[in-house]
Amino acid sequence: EIVLTQSPDFQSVTPKEKVTITCRASQNIGVSLHWYQHKADQSPKLLIKYGSQSFSGVPSRFSGSGSGTDFTLTINSLEAEDAATYYCHQSFSVPLTFGGGTKVEIK
């Protein structure tokens, strides 16, 4: 099973600040890594697919990078509506797995 390790677990950020979340895979997964935003009482929403491809309708302040074992989700100029938990997910092999999540709080 591929283990995804996210860091940090929690981040408290001021609006307009930049947020960087990392996801490290336990083995090379190419670019089979996707990012989701999960707000309380809602379903997770896809932000980035295949490491760096922005999903339709996602604000341009969200971007992804990385390949192999190290990946990054960046939120430029954080807005209040971005308060959520962010998860990475690998689709390289079954069982599909998720990172432990990074909770982003707005100061």
Partner 1 sequence: QVQLQQWGAGLLKPTETLSLICAVHGGSLDGFYWSWIRQSPGKGLEWIGEISHSGSTNYNPSLKSRVSILLDTSKNQFALNLTSVTAADTAVYYCARDWGLSWFDPWGQGTLVTVSS
The answer to whether 101 contacts partner 1 (rule: CB under 8 A) is yes
> Binding string, 80-99, against partner 1, x = CB under 8 A?
-------x-x-xxxxxxxxx
Looking at the Cβ atoms of 16 and 95, the one nearer to partner 1 is 95
| Residue 57 found at the interface with partner 1 (CB under 8 A) | no
Instruction: Report in angstroms how near the CB of residue 100 gets to partner 1 at its nearest.
Output: 5
Sign of CA dihedral 26, 31, 32, 34: positive
- Radius of gyration for the alpha carbons in the chain, expressed in angstroms and rounded: 13
What gap in Å lies between CA 58 and CA 9, rounded to an integer?
23
Residues that bind partner 1 (CB under 8 A): 1, 32, 34, 36, 38, 43-46, 49-50, 55, 87, 89, 91-101
